[in-house]
Amino acid sequence: MEGLVTRSVLSVVVVGLLLVGSASGQGVPRLDSYDGVAVRILQSNNAGTMQHVIDPAINEVVGIIRGCPNPHNLTSHPEGLYYYCSNELDQAVDVFDTKTLEHVTRIPLSARPNKIAVNKKHRKIYAGISQRTDNPGPGVEVDPDGQFPAVVDVIDIDTHTLVKSIQVFSTVHNVFMTPDEQHVVLGLRGRVRPGDPTIQVLDPATDTVAFGMELTGYEQYGRTHHEVRPMAFLADSDGSTKTVFAQATGINRIWVIDWKTREMVNMLVPPELPLWEKNADGIQTGDMHGLEVLPDKSAVWASSRLDSRIYGWSLPDMDYIGSVRVGPSANWMTSTPDSSHMYVAVSGSDHTLAIDLESLEIVAKIRTGSRPARVSTVVLPPDRVNPRGIGMRTEDNE
């Protein structure tokens, strides 16, 4: 994988690449050339206080972010100025300078957050709040005689202030953006009854609930309606949202949902393994817990904690590609912008693995912190990259 981030096809400027990446319509921007940019993999460690910055060109940790305990996930500023860390312990979003990795500020939230996501188009951060709160932000009133509201907190990215809370059906686990950033998609927490939305969709232009969706069409454990876990999205040729891929609590398969009709059109099922090859330890009812549509839209990949593997299906035909055995509790994944490699957080071994998606082989095993979980890819201007080794100490490599 040597030279992954240094090879190029054509020479372009930073702004052009960032804009093209945003227009590609996938969670990780598609870049065919890495000229004028730097790519980093951000690995959050849910049981620790250190977050790792990985350079995929050399597959090494090149910096450590300190000061965000019990993080849920990391993401970045639209222009690459800051990293944002969802701090579950202090019920806040911590802001770090991308070059120095120093803590800049802490943005208090209405309660404990789970996943956060940036909407670049509307320049906001959306924080999923995992518990009902008696202290919501502006826009939500608390009924002293009723149940506390479930909310999503909205942060203005230019002022780093909480500007609004949006009341939703139930507490929130994961927050995602659609490929065109026209919608904010929420995965809700809690047991779902028929008629209840497990997914709610917000309009970021008005910060109101647009519609909800159920996760149904398959019965397991006597349940026909399911709590959603990770999601991923496939963009249409015009950049609009075409397909939602969704995983559910306690189920080792993937829903394929048509965005316009909001109905399941397919289900992706990995090959059945013998019981002795499965791992039930520490999977937290997340049998499957990681989804990624490649930037070039050639495949969708899913990680299975239960099977200790990642599985791939081609797009758009959804033919089974194969699997890679990665170890216990395969968690969230993220790809490189050229769609050549996948990085998988393996919570059971405290490593992030780099996988060559052509050969389906593990090409690097990178030691990270305690219980690595959510992992993301960021594209930065070269002048916003931290010097190698910043924040690292001798004992971090022991």
Torsion sign over Cα 354, 357, 360, 361: negative
Q: Residue 372 falls within a domain, yes or no? A: yes
Q: What pLDDT score does 183 carry?
A: 98
Residue the block writes with tokens 């990780």? 28
Instruction: Please give the tally of structural domains in the chain.
Output: 1
pLDDT in tens, 342-388: 999 998 889 999 999 999 999 999 999 999 999 999 999 999 999 99
Indicate which CATH number applies to the domain containing 290: 2.130.10.10
Residue 395 included in any domain? no
Share of the chain above pLDDT 90, in %: 83
Residue 78 within any structural domain of the chain: yes
| Residues 217 and 171 sit within 8 Å (Cβ to Cβ) | no
What is residue 348's three-state secondary structure? coil
Is residue 396 scored above 80 in pLDDT? no
The boundaries of the domain holding residue 129 are 14-389
Compute the mean pLDDT over every residue in the chain, rounded to the nearest whole number.
91
On the CB side of 335, how many CA atoms lie within 13 Å of its CA?
Answer: 30
- Record the pTM: 0.93
9 within domain boundaries: no
SS3 category, 375: strand
Residue 396 lies in a domain: no
Closest CA to 127 of 85, 77, 65: 85
Q: What is the mean pLDDT of residues 180-200?
A: 95
Specify if 4 maps to a domain.
no
Structural tokens at position 136: 């919501």
Is 269 contained in some domain?
yes
Across the strands, what pairs with 354? Answer: 343, 364
Kindly indicate the confidence band of residue 216, based on its pLDDT and cuts at 50, 70 and 90. very high
- What stretches of the chain show up as alpha helix (H) in DSSP? 14-23
- Give the pLDDT confidence of 285-329 residue by residue, as tens digits: 878 999 999 999 999 999 999 999 999 999 999 999 999 999 988
Residue 225's pLDDT is 96
In this predicted structure, the answer to whether residue 15 has a pLDDT above a threshold of 70 is no
Q: Which residue has the higher pLDDT, 272 or 14?
A: 272
